[in-house]
Every structure is written in C-alpha cells, then in structure tokens.
Amino acid sequence: MDLTNSDRELTAEVEELSGENIFSCYQCGKCSAGCPFTDEMDLLPNQVLRKVQMGDESVLDSNTPWTCASCLSCEVDCPKGNNVPAIMEAIREISLRKNLDRVDLNELKTKELPEIALVSNLRKKTG
C-alpha cells in the first residue's frame, strides 16, 4: 500500500458524508469487540476506520459496511464518541451515489417480507 501517494480523498469524503472526525479513532478496538456481526465481515470495524484514515480505497470493496445493521452498539461503546455507524453509512453512500445499488429489486423475493424490512433495507442499500 502506497501511503505517500495517497491524497486521502476518500478520508475527506467519508468525513464530509459522516460529519465525523476519523482521526479521533485511536484503534482501541472496542467497536469490533462489541459488534455482533464481525464473523460475517471481511474487515473488522476498527480496521475499516484505520483504512479510511489512510485513504485506502479498498474499503469500498469490503462487505463490512453492508453487513453493518446500524445497531449502534459500537457507537455507545466508543470512548472517543465516534459515530462508527455513520462512517459505515458514508462508505455505503459513496457507492450508492455512483448508482451502484447493493440490493437489486428485480432479484428480490419480496413475498412475505414485511414493509419494515423492505423500507429499512432499501434506505440503506439502494441509492
């Protein structure tokens, strides 16, 4: 990974979309310790934050922001008061704003899914 060349565009974009200060994270790992879905994630939440700090665009391909259920357990645990779910949402938004939906409505088996599941999912996973 070439850190010297990075102009940290991603970092600035995530900070703008989330309204959070990414650099206040000091990698204590509490977000990952409390996250109930880490076994489904290819990067731990704190690793996602570290990569964003470094401007590493590979986080855009990570499944972690899409596995995040915005349950906010990391947010209540963060000693720095970081809104980690907002950072995950910012990463999702970067893709969604390029018209890259995560969920394809045409493929979806909507039968028997309650509206509350559909509304929330489509709000988080389509642009």
Partner 1 sequence: MPDKPEAETVEIFIMGKKYEVPKGLTIMKAMEYSGYQYIRGVGCRGGFCGACATIYRLEGDYKLHTDLACQTTVQDGMYLTQLPFTPAGRKEYDLEELQVSNNPLLDLYPELARCVSCNTCTKTCPQDLEVMDFVNEAIRGNVGKVAELSFDCIQCGLCAARCPAEIPHHHVGQLARRIYGRYQAPESEHLEERVEEIKNGVFDDDLEELVNLPEEELRERYENREIES
Partner 2 sequence: MREITYYPGCSLKDTAKGFEDSALKVSKELDVNLKELSRWNCCGTVYSLTDDNLMKQLGPIRNLIRARDEGSDELYTLCSMCDNTLKRANSLIRGEEDKRDKINNFMDQERDYEGSVEVHHYLELLRDILGWDEVRDRVVAPLESLNVAPYYGCMLTRPKEIGLDDPHEPTVFDELVESLGGTPVDFPYETECCGSYNTVDNEEMVLNKAQTITAGAKKSGADVIITACPLCHFNLDRRQADLLEVAPNHKPVPVIYFTQLMAVAFGYPEVNNFDEHAIDPREALELKTKAGSKR
Binding interface with partner 2 (CB under 8 A):
16-19, 36-37, 40, 67, 69-73, 75-76, 83, 85-86, 89-90, 93, 102-103, 108, 112-121, 123-125
Q: What is the DSSP string of 66-85?
A: HH-----HHHHH-TT---HH
**Which of 76, 100 has the CB closer to partner 1?**
100
Q: Is the Cβ of residue 17 or residue 122 nearer to partner 1 in the bound state?
A: 122
For residue 25, the minimal CB distance to partner 2 (Å) is: 16
Classify residue 27 as left (phi > 0), alpha (psi -120 to 50) or beta.
left
